[in-house]
Amino acid sequence: MQVFTPVLTLEHLSKVTAASAEREWHSDWGYSPSEWHKAYPIAQGNRQSPIDIDSARAVYDPNLQPLVISYESCTSLSISNTGHSVMVEFEDTDDRTAISGGPFQNPFRLKQFHFHWGTTHSQGSEHTIDGKPFPCELHLVHWNARKYATFGEAAAAPDGLAVVGVFLEVRIAKIARLHDKKLTDALYMVKFKGTKAQFRGFNPKCLLPLSLDYWTYLGSLTTPPLNESVTWIVLKEPIRISVKQLEKFRMLLFTGEEDQRIQMANNFRPPQPLKGRIVRASFKA
């Protein structure tokens, strides 16, 4: 499903600064990825995301450190419908809620997480593994606060962001790995575009798989402004979600309460050309 809404002009894009990068991310572009290059020429750049990860061609790098995820002190603030996804935002004033290790020299603070999903179980994730998509993908977005003063500044820099991608797979079982129902139970509060609700006391550690084996590569945001500012960490092991939980995501809307209702689904960008980039693995195939 595609939603056609006004996009920003090239003239406007030329004026985008680091200070406006965060605002730009949430502007009113439409979910039609094949059209994005007209307003965002970087869509055809050399390090665009997502990609298809060819597991046989990924290079095992013994120098990659284990990924360290420190979410014990996190403070969730709100849940919102951005018109493109559902997003949970966090307090990010210090490094107590951060990722480190992996390919990183500095810790990266957790800013927010959001999801991408499809109308059916056969599609929905942005990254694919050996050509195989998953029905949903979680993105935990972090920024390099040691080097940059604001999230917006980091989002405009080539080493500013680190995003952890987690695949969600549907399992027909009584207990799903996405066991903290607080998240999916809160989705009804943000059904319409532009709605926001307080969302306290949620620790995203429950959204992580047991294994933190990962692939990593240099890429971009997968939504406009498509900045090539992301070091991607794509976890090998998916988490489980129930059919009922996934259906709650599909009840969200791309549109506002006064608009014609359009189901929020297929909010994913397809894999982009690798263009010579190397995908490294923290584990032996």
Mean residue pLDDT of the chain comes to 89
pLDDT of residue 27: 54
The band of 2, judged by pLDDT with boundaries at 50, 70 and 90, is very low
pLDDT of residue 8: 37
The band of 31, judged by pLDDT with boundaries at 50, 70 and 90, is confident
Q: Where are the domains of the chain?
A: 10-281
Kindly list the catalytic residues: 84
pTM to 2 decimals? 0.90
pLDDT in tens, 150-176: 999 999 999 999 999 999 999 765 444
Residue 245 has pLDDT above 50, yes or no: yes
- Which CATH number, 3.30.750.24, 3.10.200.10, 3.30.70.1400, 3.40.50.620, labels domain 10-281? 3.10.200.10
Residue % of the chain over a pLDDT of 90: 83
Distances in Å between the Cα of 146 and the Cα atoms of 68, 106, 223, 246, 259 are 17, 7, 25, 36, 42
Single-letter residue type at 236: K
pLDDT in tens, 70-116: 998 999 999 999 999 999 999 999 998 999 999 999 999 999 999 99
Residue 53 has pLDDT above 50, yes or no: yes
